[in-house]
Chains A and B, each alone.
Chain A
Amino acid sequence: MASRLLWASRAASYLRISVFHRGFSSVLKDLKYADSHEWVKVEGNSATVGITDHAQDHLGDVVYVELPEVGAPVEQGSGFGAVESVKATSDINSPVSGKVLEVNEELNDSPGLVNSSPYDKGWIIKVEVTDSGELKNLMDADQYSKFCEEEDAKH
């Protein structure tokens, strides 16, 4: 069903006909996105990392977040922690390389913040970024929205 909708919208945009889009998960404009559904907000040398609305929706209710140690190194594309939901632990990968400056301790008592506020109170770690050039490997908001649509159309 979803793949037919995707074909219809592609055909429609080719013909420049407007198509009604059903609502998708929210995507924020100023953030960068990894294809493993993490977001990063860069402010100077430091970056805040979390998982996206699409990710939390597909995970289900988060009951546990495994956080790294402050000071631990992180690498773009590599795992730094995990979340547990519906008896599944899912690795979280870092969108940037660097060193962990801070972890969101609130998630120990309130892991559900990842679901209710994925871009704000549900932030997971803050990183001192070592290579800002790596950001070009990430998607912007529009690219990420399209990526999510294509992924959802697969089944």
Chain B
Amino acid sequence: MVDRFCIIEPKRRVFLECVVLQEMRVSRSLEVWKMGTINYLDALRLQEQLVSNRKAHKIPDTLLSLQHPPTYTLGKRRTDHNLLIPESDLKKMGAELHYTQRGGDITFHGPHQAILYPIISLRDIGLGARNYVEKLELTMIELASLYGVKACAGQAGETGVWVGERKIGAIGVRISFGITSHGLAFNIDPDLNYFKHIVPCGIANKEVTSLRKETDLVLPAEEVVHEQLISCFARQFGYSNLLWKENGLIS
């Protein structure tokens, strides 16, 4: 960096060097909330509040790490033709159905699926939707690789993370005033039968899979996998300073 400015008069050069080094040293903070199992609507209400707070600069970039009880959700396009059974049947099996404002098609969330909802300002880091979603894909690809699973991003129109022709991670995001909500869902070991009642993500003839099915390794406790997912996210997005929050307390 130094030789780029050596042609400028000496006093200016010292000033410019100081400013450049300052820029490089600024660390980015991420507040991580570990929430356990939380109902979909409760999580949605929380996200709405956090987006509003983030927009008003009251909170830093925040990441929610959680899982949901059995829940089916639809995106803004309301593609309920991809729900293959009546809503009343869902209730009988103890699952909820929610219409949301996120992008993407129908999907299922449930126990043993790791979910991340980042509430971050894309404007502060100069990212657009496409780059943001790519980094979410890379987050899950990196996690899968920790277990020897070679995952990759989907081809055009098939956003998500795939192992061959089988989908292991889904994405559905909302961006409002440059602040993100909703996020990603990574299948550690959910009951894949729940996916039989939908055309997952509107893509027919492709299976859904999980880390359990794809890896030869023994999986550690799920909390470990959740923390690894969080670390992958932090690395992808360049957060050097993580503030952990459990049960409402910052630790």
Q: Which residues of A contact B (CB under 8 A)?
A: 3-4, 7-8, 11, 14-15, 36, 55, 57-61, 63-64, 66, 79, 82, 84-91, 93, 151-155
Query: Are A36 and B130 within 8 A (Cβ)?
Result: no
Query: Quick one: which of B8, B101, B173 contacts A15, CB cutoff 8 A?
Result: B8
**Complex: chain A residue closest to B175, CB-CB:** A90
Residues of chain B contacted by A154 (CB below 8 angstroms): 124-126
Please report the C-alpha to C-alpha distance between residue A86 and residue B172 in the assembled complex, in whole angstroms: 9
> Shortest Cβ distance from A145 into chain B, in angstroms?
15
Is the Cβ of B176 less than 8 Å from the Cβ of A91? Answer: yes
Given A85-B129, A154-B125, A155-B127, do A36 and B102 touch, yes or no (CB 8 Å)?
A: no
CB pair B102 A15 closer than 8 Å: no
The residues of B that contact A152 with a CB separation of less than 8 Å are 126
B75 touching A60, Cβ below 8 Å: no
Instruction: Determine, out of B61-69, B138-146, B154-162, B227-235, the stretch whose residues face the partner at the interface.
Output: B154-162
On whether A87 and B133 interact (CB within 8 A), knowing A15-B7, A66-B76, A151-B123, the answer reads yes
Q: A60 to B126, Cβ gap below 8 A?
A: no
- How many residues of B are in contact with the other chain, CB < 8 A? 39
Distance from B78 Cβ to chain A, minimum over Cβ atoms (Å): 11
Picked from A15, A86, A93, the residue with its CB within 8 Å of the CB of B103 is: A86
A53 to B20, CA, bound (A): 31
Interface 0/1 of B153-185, CB less than 8 Å to A = 000110110000000000111111110000000
Q: For the complex formed, measure the closest distance between the CB of B50 and the CB atoms of chain A, giving whole angstroms.
A: 16
| B132 interface hit (Cβ, 8 Å) | yes
Task: Indicate whether B5 reaches chain A with its CB closer than 8 angstroms.
Answer: yes
Proximity string of chain B (103-127) to chain A, C-beta cutoff 8 Å, 1 when within and 0 when not:
1100000000000000000011111
Residues of B75-108 contacting chain A, CB below 8 A: 75-77, 101-104
Return chain A residues, CB-CB under 8 Å to B102. 87-89
* Residue from A60, A86, A154 with most neighbouring chain B CB atoms (10 Å): A86
Cross-chain contact B133 with A61 (CB below 8 angstroms): no
Q: Please pick, from A82, A93, A155, the residue contacting B125 in the complex, using a CB distance under 8 A.
A: A155
B216 within 8 A of A: no
In whole Å, how far is A91's beta carbon from the nearest beta carbon of chain B?
Answer: 5
The 19 sampled A-B contact pairs (Cβ below 8 Å) are A7-B16, A8-B4, A58-B131, A59-B128, A64-B77, A82-B76, A84-B77, A86-B129, A86-B130, A87-B104, A87-B159, A87-B160, A87-B172, A87-B173, A88-B174, A89-B174, A91-B176, A152-B126, A154-B126
B residues lining the A interface (CB < 8 Å): 1, 4-5, 7-8, 16, 20, 23, 75-77, 101-104, 123-133, 156-157, 159-160, 171-178, 238
Main secondary structure on chain A at its contact with chain B? mixed
Q: Is the CB of B20 within 8 A of A7?
A: yes
Bound CA–CA A15/B126 (angstroms): 28
Q: How far is the CA of A90 from the CA of B172 in the complex (A)?
A: 11
Contact B75 A89 (CB under 8 A): yes
Other-chain residue from B124, B126, B130, B156 in contact with A59 (beta carbon distance below 8 A): B130
B75 contacts across to A, CB distance below 8 A:
84, 87, 89
- State the CA gap A23–B172 with chains docked (Å): 31
* Docked complex Cα distance between A61 and B76 (Å): 16
Q: Is the CB of B171 within 8 A of A36?
A: no
